[in-house]
Amino acid sequence: MFTVSANGANIPALGFGTFRMPDEDVARVLPEALKLGFRHVDTAQIYKNEAAVGDVLSKSGIPRADIFLTTKVWVDRVGHSAFIASVDESLAKLKTDYVDLLLLHWPQSEMPLADRMGALNALKKAGKVKNIGVSNFSVALIAEAVKLSDAPLATNQVEYHPYLDQTKVLAEVAEHGMSLTAYYLMANGAVPGDAVLKDIGAKHGKTAAQVTLRWAIQQKDVVALSKTATVSRLPENFDVFDFVLSEDEMQAIHALARPTGRIVNPGHLAPEWDL
């Protein structure tokens, strides 16, 4: 495992994501992921599984300092007091005094961005949060969030996979010393059967999924979130550090991007995306 350093945050390049994982799946799969070597765990208030994640981490025997834990504040936490209280609630569920990274989950909220960034900074000053960042932010919103924040931002967590070109977002986060954290890397199940990715994988003795995870973490300052509810798949997701894609292979994967590649686009939450 290697780490991505971004504005003081040292983020394990491969994380275990818990999106759409009910408590029983978290309890069953996350302990095995930790045994394999995963040390970056990603959750969110809206996932409704923070307590299950906290339970597994507290029972794991792994020192808290060795885990990089991310959660995200949902858009309905409106007003400084409600925002802060929601994070205190998250910390209680996660059975920890702090999270390593706290993100604004989506840009659209009734709480102005300036106030939300102020709350993130207050939590960082209080020691409840080691690093702060955003999720699903466009180039313009990244720039605005950076201006509104006293503390530097560590990441923008966004949908990213071979079918979605995120060149503009990558350039913007680089401009501010941030990382990009990629979610939905399997593109809703399109990746494992992709002929180009399978062909590249065959040359390395790897699957299309492993090729895609490697493609992500091989890019400068990109962190990849993997996710599975199938314990037998965990070793496949973790075994991506023993091969390197050639520049031609990287470009062949980038070439899969298409204008219609975006999958996650909830109109009541999403910004105006970069074209």
Catalytic residues: 47
The response to whether 105 counts as a known ligand-binding position is yes
Give the separation between CA 43 and CA 73, rounded to whole angstroms.
10
Nearest Cα residue to 135 out of 54, 209, 43, 229: 43
Q: List C-alpha distances in Å: 40 to 10, 45, 71.
A: 10, 17, 11
CA–CA separation, 273 and 275 (whole Å): 6
Residue that the structure tokens 């496949």 belong to? 236
For 206-273, what is the HEC assignment?
A: CCHHHHHHHHHHCCCCEEEEECCCCHHHHHHHHCCCCCCCCHHHHHHHHCCCCCCCCCCCCCCCCCCC
Q: How far apart are CA 241 and CA 19, in angstroms?
A: 24
Binding site for substrate: residue ranges? 105
Binding site: residue ranges? 105
